[in-house]
Chain A
Amino acid sequence: MNGLDIGWWGVPIAIIGGAIRVSTPFIFVSLGECLTERSGRINLGLEGTLVFGAMAGYAVAFHTGSPWAGVAAAALAGMLFGLLHGWLCSLPKVNDIAVGIALMLFGTGIAFFFGKPYIQPVAPDLPAIPLGWWTDIPQLEAALRVNVLFVIGAILAFAMAWMFKATRVGLIVRVVGDSTDAARAMGLDPNWVRLWSTAAGGALAGIGGAYLSLYYPGSWNEGISSGQGLMAVALVIFARWNPINCLWAALLFGGAGALGPALQSVGVSEGYYLFFAAPYVLTLGLLVATSSPTQAISGAPGELSITK
Chain B
Amino acid sequence: MRRSEAVALPLLALLAGLAAFGVFLLLLGKSPIEFYGYVYQAGFGSAFSWENTLSRAAPLLLAALCVAIPARLGLVVIGGEGAIVLGGVAAGVTGASFPGLGIGGIALMAVAGALTGALWIGAVGWMRVRRGVNETISSLLMAYIAIALMNHFVESVFRDPASLNKPSTAPLEEAYRLADMPGMAVHWGLGIGLVACIVSYIVMERTTWGFAARIVGGNVRAAQIQGLPTGRLVLGFTALAGGFAGLAGMVEVSAVHGSANGSLAAGYGYTGILIAFLARHNALAIIPVAVLLAGFEASSGLVQRRLDLPDATMLVLQGLVFVAILVSETLVGRFRLFKPETWVRA
On whether the beta carbons of B322 and A102 are closer than 8 Å, the reply is yes
Query: B127, B130, B134, B273: which contacts A101 (Cβ < 8 A)?
Result: B273
Contact flag A277-B144 (CB < 8 Å), given A287-B133, A287-B138, A288-B127: yes
Interface residue? B282 (CB, 8 A): no
CB distance from B209 to the nearest CB of A (A): 22
Q: How far is the CB of A220 from chain B (nearest CB, A)?
A: 13
Are B330 and A92 in contact (CB-based, < 8 A)? Answer: yes
CB contact between B141 and one of A92, A107, A234 (< 8 Å): that residue: A234
Q: CA–CA, A113 to B318, complex, Å?
A: 13
Please, what's the 1-or-0 string for B143-183, where 1 marks a CB less than 8 Å from any CB in chain A?
01100110110011000000000000000000000000000
**Which of the segments A2-10, A124-132, A240-248, A290-298 contacts the partner chain?**
A290-298
Using a CB-CB cutoff of 8 Å, which residues 47-93 of chain A contact chain B?
Answer: 88, 91-93
The answer on a CB contact under 8 Å between B130 and A88 is: no
A164 located at the interface, meaning its Cβ lies under 8 Å from any Cβ of chain B in the complex: no
> B326 contacts A273, CB within 8 Å?
no
Interface pick from A21-29, A141-149, A224-232: A224-232
A interface secondary structure, majority = helix
Number of A-B contacts (CB under 8 A): 144
- A292's contact among B131, B277, B327, by CB below 8 Å, is which? B131
Q: Is residue B274 within 8 Å, beta carbon to beta carbon, of the partner chain?
A: yes
CA distance A101 to B136 in the complex (A): 9
**A95 interfacial contact with B, CB 8 Å:** yes
List A contacts of B136 (CB < 8 A): 44, 97, 101, 306
B145/A103 in contact, CB under 8 A: no
Closest-by-CB residue of B relative to A226 is B144
List the one stretch of A185-193, A198-206, A278-286 in contact with chain B: A278-286
When distances are taken between beta carbons in the complex, the residues of chain A under 8 Å from B133 are 284, 287-288, 291
Report if B312 contacts A (CB, 8 A): yes
With the chains together, A284 CA to B126 CA distance in Å?
13
**B332 nearest in chain A by CB position:** A93
Report which A residues bind B (CB closer than 8 A): 44, 88, 91-95, 97-99, 101-103, 105-113, 116, 226-227, 230-231, 233-234, 237, 270-274, 276-277, 280-281, 283-284, 287-288, 291-294, 306-307
CB atoms of B323 and A102 under 8 A apart: yes
Size class of B's contact patch?
35 or more
Provide 24 A-B residue pairs closer than 8 Å at the C-beta atoms, listed in order of the A residue.
A88-B323, A91-B327, A93-B330, A95-B326, A98-B76, A101-B136, A101-B273, A102-B319, A105-B270, A105-B318, A106-B319, A109-B315, A113-B310, A226-B144, A227-B144, A273-B148, A273-B149, A281-B145, A284-B127, A287-B133, A287-B137, A288-B127, A293-B131, A294-B132
Contact B141 A105 (CB under 8 A): no
Contact: A280 with B318, CB < 8 Å?
no
A98–B330 CA distance with the chains assembled, in angstroms: 13
B316 near A110 (CB under 8 angstroms)?
Answer: yes
Residue numbers in A under 8 Å from B270 (CB-CB):
105
